[in-house]
Amino acid sequence: MRRILNYFLMRVLLTIPMLFVLLTLVFVVLRVMPGDPVSAMLGGHAPEYVIQQKKAELGLNKPIFEQYIDYLGQLAHGDLGNSMIFVERVSHPIAQRLPATIELTLFGLIVTLGIGIPLGVRASRKRRTAQDFGIRFYANIVYCIPVFWMGLILQMVFGVLLPIFPIAGRVGARIISSDFDRTGFYVLDTLMKGNFADLGDVLMHLVLPAFTLGITLSGVFVRLTRANMLDVLKSDYVLASRARGVPERRVVYKHALKNALIPIVTMLGLQFSALLAGAILTETTFSWPGMGRLLLERIYLRDYPTVQGVIIVYALFVSVVSLIVDIVYAIIDPRVQL
């Protein structure tokens, strides 16, 4: 237990400099990019003295290093700052949008694993057959497809040609969004209220975005699962189980798959950041009111504090998930602690 605790503390200490470097890069890049938040705010037609007055009010007339020190001081107090464009705290829109992104990412992850692992196992069992070739062909194709293009195809097929699923938003027009203020997670809120009619509507709106996100990343897990299953199926204990007459299904799913999942757990942590990146494009395609759309909107408006706040939250989210995966991996395979 102590070794796991030491491993946990080491991973936390390694996360801190990573966040610091990311924060510094984002801060500098935003301020050297073309464009001016004051001009975006005032419409670009304000007199020069008004622009300079507003810059002084926002602290943009200070040297970048001084602005950076002031921002670090804010973060040290847990303050993400105020929006430069809107009269609101940066934490307010983030708190509103974060549940939507988490919900979409989790359902996308379920689709990814639900497709990738079973197909990878199937391909390993049917090695060098037409099924194996077809599954690997699918994995290569979906891995190369851009997320937004997949979303547009699913919208056209299942939203227009076959109008089965809605193609935009989190809920239908007849449902009042204020009914979901308890947690912000629409699926959880409807379950807590026992409102299964609204739950059905929420899930229908989740189908196309979640499958868009999940299908494009499932190819990675198909190939990884297949490769690891092929190695495990050659192991001595698998051959011994087969020699004892253990049913093939039991050998594959109870013994082999359990050991093949160890590297998949590691890949899950690495791919979680890819899920969040894909969620930005998915949210834009499906008008999903999440962090991705918030980030793109505020980049366009040059709202520095909000962009910085969103990226910090993204980085913290990915770091926490990666840390959890590392701890789980350390528990499953104690060799990583050495």
The CA-based angle 223-165-131, given to 5 degrees, is 25
- The whole-number pLDDT of residue 244 equals 84
Query: 210 pLDDT band (50/70/90 cuts)?
Result: very high
Query: 206 pLDDT band (50/70/90 cuts)?
Result: very high
- The whole-number pLDDT of residue 165 equals 92
**What torsion do the CA atoms of 167, 189, 297, 48 make, to the nearest 10 degrees?**
150
Contact 279, 106 (CB under 8 A): no
Residue spans in the chain of domains classed CATH 1.10.3720.10: 91-299
Average per-residue pLDDT for the chain:
83
> What is the full DSSP assignment across 82-129?
B-SSSSSBTHHHHHHHHHHHHHHHHHHHHHHHHHHHHHHHHHHHTTTS
The one-letter code for the residue type at 259 is: N
* pLDDT greater than 70 at residue 334: no
For residue 60, give every residue at least 6 positions away whose Cβ sits within 8 Å of its Cβ, in sequence order, or none.
37, 38, 67
Check: pTM over 0.75? Answer yes or no: yes
For 91-299, CATH number out of 3.30.830.10, 1.20.120.530, 1.10.730.10, 1.10.3720.10 equals: 1.10.3720.10
